[in-house]
Structure 1
Amino acid sequence: MRDGAVEQAAGAAESAHENGAGDDVDGPRPGASRLRDLPGELRALAGRHRVFTVILVMGALLRATAMLGYPPIMYFNDSFDYLHVANDPYPHPLRPDGYSFLLVILRPFHSFVLVAAVQHLMGLAMGLMVYATLRRRMGLPGWGAALAAAPVLLDAYQIQLEQLVLSDTLFAFLVVSAATLLLWHDRPGWRVALAVGLLLAAAWLTRTLGLPVLVGVLVFMVVRRTGWRAVAVVLVAAAVPTAAYMTWFSQTHGKFAMTAGDGVFLFARAYKFADCHKIPNLTVDETLLCVQPGHKLPYSQDGIWNRRSPLKRVTDLRFGPRQNEIAGGFSRKAIKAQPGDYLKVVALDFARTFRWDRPVFPDEKTYRMYEFDRTELPLASWDMGDGTRAGDAALRYEAGPARTRVVEPFAGIVRGYQSLAHLPGVLLGGLLLVGLAGMVRMWRRFGGAAFLPWSLATGLLLAPAATVEFDYRYVLPAVPLACLAAGIAVGQYALSRRNRSTSARSSL
């Protein structure tokens, strides 16, 4: 029957061609008609989603203003490592190359403006995914779903992060995309599972936090009974690309891993509380990292980056295998010997997420990199280890001037906006509490759909505090997930209220 239908369609098409139906004589082509009707369809769509349309347009205009105010793009210290890899790809020892792969794809255009535009589109897409999921799948009214998407679309620090050459926007986009696919399909087929697995592989290749995200997704799929085939497809689809990358990494660094600096970064966490008088069985090499409590530098990150860090006592290349092994061994022994001190440091850093104000942390220089500044800074000039300077990577990628310019009045507009419009940590904590309350109500169903975004958001906030140190940019990828969790909780509560009301009326 299928072949007969195909033959009939082919015959109809042939007859239409012979009769001149394909010519534009009696009227416009269907495609042209649809194109002409597109503005009307968009107006109708905007009319059905008025509140969200207003917020989305505001978010787009703010992003355009940021691009006009700070062309061609803005930089963080890590930016130049990503660009260095993008210019001549190699497995970076400290950070996975996922973000650099995106830069490689865009490199033929030699345009940082394009890079910024792509990242801003990712930000808008995350807001759209939050709205669509809550509106279409969770039953929230339009204004409620739009309100949940507003922190993603309108937060000034989110917009500034998208204007930076950094991996965080791509990572957040990949995680939110994977979560949206799972929430959209109650029982995902193999195609959806494959897409989710590949998205999570890309997230893992972008930031090492992608591994706990993958674990969280698999746990959600198991407790929601999505089917073992879907779980297996996600696992395999995530494992194959990452295993390939680790193989490439091992050929350069002699270690089957994603990075070679996990021990050094863990030392940043241990440096804050480690007391060698309380740590037994330290090796001679590990005692090189001992510092008297009264002589420690003020911040955890000083344990890595400061010139007076005790890591400088270990004779090895910076982040070399010997340094990484010694730092990792020392840190694990410190955590095991001082679990209370470790948990205290983690709790204090985790609590920084939920402050109402935004104090300078971890230091003035780092803090200012997350601000739309009024000062034009030169490109970084430190040595990249191959005879080039950091700023050379940006110049080569752009194939022209790459220094960030401050263009008024656009820069002044977004600076003023940033001083007023951002999501305070207290409100982020409120979103998580709303999501948690909804999960408690759904405890018989393991928290319901809210379990996925809530657990991922909480994990993304807790992991940096547990392994390195709090940083303001680590907070932002958790925001769309927290908004999803809170929106789902509210939607589930409203639905249960409506069901009880309907049952009560039907019993009368």
Structure 2
Amino acid sequence: MTKRRIARHLGFLTIFLVGVILRVIVFVGFRWQLWFNDSWSYVESAVRHQPHVARPNGYAFLLQAFRPFHAYWPVILLQHLLALAAAVIIYALLLRRGSRRWTACLAAAPLLLDAYELQLEHMVLSDTLFLFFVLAAAGVLLWPGVRGPYACAGVGALLAAAALTRSIGLALVPIVLLWMVRRTGWRSFAALLTACVLPLTAYAFWFSSVHGRFALTNSDGPFLYARSMAFADCSRFTVPAEELPLCDLRPRSERPSSQFYVWGADSPLARVPGDRFSPRKNELAGDFARRAIAAQPLDFLKAAASDVLKVFRWDRTVYPDDYTYSQYRFGTATKPVQPWAEPSLRAYTGGSLEPTTIVRPWATIMEWYQRYFFVRGTMLLALLLVPLVRLRWDALLPWAFAWAFLVVPAVTVEFDYRYVVPAVPLAALAAALCFTPREPAE
């Protein structure tokens, strides 16, 4: 790169370098990974080579690919690199579409500098891989001059990979198809749909061979049931006898958070015979939830809207409980390994549990950094409002993706800060696209 080119991109290179330094500090301060509740299940799926009953195996496939290292640090390193690459996608895409360099820098900055993004990347968790697939798909679709069937087939494959990494990726497929209606011919449309459907269908067949249901998971019923328990009143709708154990007679104000109804040992769901995510329990829980929603549609909308509004608060509040909230922060203590997960963790590494080692002063630096340097909910709302003021068709794609990340969990499960982080770079991209020329240079 010549000196002139370096000078032209000096702003982005500076922010990018700061992002690299921050990731190095995280890497050496929390050796060599952080753990979340779901981390154990991903490792278990990678070791057993079976589809997980509650979440697709896309991330488990990545863990399997790195299993010969007998350690998690190569996966974590890759996740940090994928985030850096995603920031480059945002910056390069905006420049290609004629954006000013400072606008492109600002759009890429949250992904490079947000403390909660850094923390999520350092977890044995699917979110960073998922976000990379989504931004790569958006980058191809929005790149000027890319309209052919081969490119669209690539987008379809990326969307399938995203859906197999996190179930919410399925919600992005209809968004893309609707957005493409006015931009591509039927061949490109068909290529994208085919490349997306084939991997998902193959996975569903594999899932069916193990769990007896043609689907990606057996968890949609219990999760929707958990959502409905924020408002469900069994006196207001007809409940079949086999679903009566699912009723909670406590007043709404005295009920625990929605996640309790899926994972809690004392959840009403545990009264129904069978495993937590068995096909029969999935069917009964889903049927109960749909009855409650049909009988109390306004209460359902109110519960979902309340969760969405939590996203846009200026300060992060403790939710849904201290334990879950603490997992989204750089902490001073290591997360204990769940006893049931130990066999899988030892099998993956060849014997060691690979506990996190907290090293100071690097960990202290990131604890301080996370107090101040992150995109607050009100800032995210401002980004999401920009495309409504400066309406642009191209901006609607990442804008709709961001809203899907915020709304779909609120409708199907409950609000969680984990779902907010991936929405930020997409909202920033959408806002920046509103200030690019309407006809990008080819």
- Structures share a fold, TM > 0.5? yes
Deviation at 1:107, TM superposition (A): 1.3
1:59 corresponds to 2:11: no
Counterpart CA distance in 2 for 1:57 and 1:43 is 17
Contact 2:149-2:189 within 8 A present in 1 as well? no
Contact 1:111-1:398 within 8 A present in 2 as well? yes
Counterpart CA distance in 2 for 1:302 and 1:335 is 19
Q: Which residue of 1 aligns with 2:240?
A: 283
Q: Which residue of 2 aligns with 1:474?
A: 419
Q: Which residue of 1 aligns with 2:249?
A: 292
Counterpart CA distance in 1 for 2:270 and 2:256 is 17
Tell me the secondary structure at the aligned position of residue 343 of structure 1: helix
Counterpart CA distance in 1 for 2:363 and 2:303 is 38
Contact 2:71-2:354 within 8 A present in 1 as well? no
Counterpart CA distance in 2 for 1:315 and 1:378 is 30
State the TM-score, normalized to the length of structure 1.
Answer: 0.84
Contact 1:438-1:492 within 8 A present in 2 as well? no
Report 1:379-390 matches (<5 A).
379-381=337-339, 383=340, 390=341
Match of 1:97 among 57, 66, 84: 57
1:413 corresponds to 2:373: no
Letter in 1 for 2:425: P
Tell me the secondary structure at the aligned position of residue 283 of structure 2: helix
1:153 corresponds to 2:105: no
Q: Which residue of 1 aligns with 2:409?
A: 464
Q: Which residue of 1 aligns with 2:347?
A: 396
Match of 1:69 among 29, 42, 47: 29
Letter in 1 for 2:41: D
Deviation at 1:359, TM superposition (A): 0.3
Tell me the secondary structure at the aligned position of residue 299 of structure 2: helix
Match of 1:486 among 407, 431, 437: 431
Deviation at 1:305, TM superposition (A): 1.5
Counterpart CA distance in 2 for 1:480 and 1:325 is 36
Q: Which residue of 2 aligns with 1:109?
A: 69
Deviation at 1:122, TM superposition (A): 1.1
1:432 corresponds to 2:384: yes
Q: Which residue of 2 aligns with 1:127?
A: 87
Contact 1:135-1:145 within 8 A present in 2 as well? yes
Which shows bigger deviation, 186-195 or 113-122?
186-195
Tell me the secondary structure at the aligned position of residue 434 of structure 2: helix
Counterpart CA distance in 1 for 2:316 and 2:424 is 16
Distance 1:58 1:43, change over 3 A: farther
Contact 1:438-1:450 within 8 A present in 2 as well? no
Q: Which residue of 2 aligns with 1:259?
A: 217
Q: Which runs of 5+ in 2 are unaligned?
A: none
Match of 1:422 among 369, 374, 381: 374
Contact 1:198-1:237 within 8 A present in 2 as well? yes
Tell me the secondary structure at the aligned position of residue 230 of structure 1: helix
Deviation at 1:477, TM superposition (A): 1.4
Distance 1:185 1:492, change over 3 A: closer
Letter in 2 for 1:195: G
Letter in 1 for 2:300: Y
Deviation at 1:312, TM superposition (A): 1.4
Counterpart CA distance in 2 for 1:108 and 1:74 is 20
Letter in 1 for 2:365: I
Q: Which residue of 2 aligns with 1:85?
A: 45
Tell me the secondary structure at the aligned position of residue 272 of structure 1: coil
1:270 corresponds to 2:215: no
Q: Which runs of 5+ in 1 are unaligned?
A: 1-40, 384-389, 440-446, 497-508
Q: Which residue of 2 aligns with 1:177?
A: 136
Distance 1:410 1:44, change over 3 A: farther
Deviation at 1:341, TM superposition (A): 0.1
Deviation at 1:67, TM superposition (A): 0.6
Counterpart CA distance in 1 for 2:62 and 2:2 is 30
Summarize deviations over 1:130-159 as a string: whole Å, max 9, x none. 11111221x221111101111111000000
1:234 corresponds to 2:234: no
Contact 2:35-2:335 within 8 A present in 1 as well? no
Greater RCO, 1 or 2 (C-alpha within 8 Å, sep 6+): 2
1:371 corresponds to 2:329: yes
Report 1:330-369 matches (<5 A).
330-369=288-327
Counterpart CA distance in 2 for 1:412 and 1:42 is 38
| Structure 1 residue runs of 4 or more that deviate by more than 4 Å after TM superposition | none
Q: Which residue of 1 aligns with 2:204?
A: 246
Tell me the secondary structure at the aligned position of residue 285 of structure 1: helix
Distance 1:309 1:401, change over 3 A: closer
Deviation at 1:492, TM superposition (A): 4.3
Counterpart CA distance in 1 for 2:424 and 2:5 is 26
Summarize deviations over 1:20-45 as a string: whole Å, max 9, x none. xxxxxxxxxxxxxxxxxxxxx27554
Q: Which residue of 1 aligns with 2:175?
A: 216
Q: Which residue of 1 aligns with 2:164?
A: 205
Summarize deviations over 1:229-286 as a string: whole Å, max 9, x none. 1110000001111111110111111111000111001111001100011112x11011
Deviation at 1:47, TM superposition (A): 2.2
Contact 2:34-2:123 within 8 A present in 1 as well? yes
Tell me the secondary structure at the aligned position of residue 490 of structure 1: coil
Tell me the secondary structure at the aligned position of residue 92 of structure 1: coil
Which shows bigger deviation, 145-154 or 390-399?
390-399
Report 1:9-88 matches (<5 A).
41=1, 44-88=4-48
Tell me the secondary structure at the aligned position of residue 366 of structure 2: helix
Distance 1:43 1:311, change over 3 A: farther
Tell me the secondary structure at the aligned position of residue 251 of structure 2: helix
Match of 1:164 among 100, 123, 138: 123
Deviation at 1:307, TM superposition (A): 2.1
RMSD of the alignment, in Å?
Answer: 1.6
Identity %: 46
Letter in 1 for 2:138: A
Mark the structure with the bigger radius of gyration: 1
Query: How many pairs were matched up?
Result: 438
Deviation at 1:162, TM superposition (A): 0.3
Letter in 1 for 2:168: L
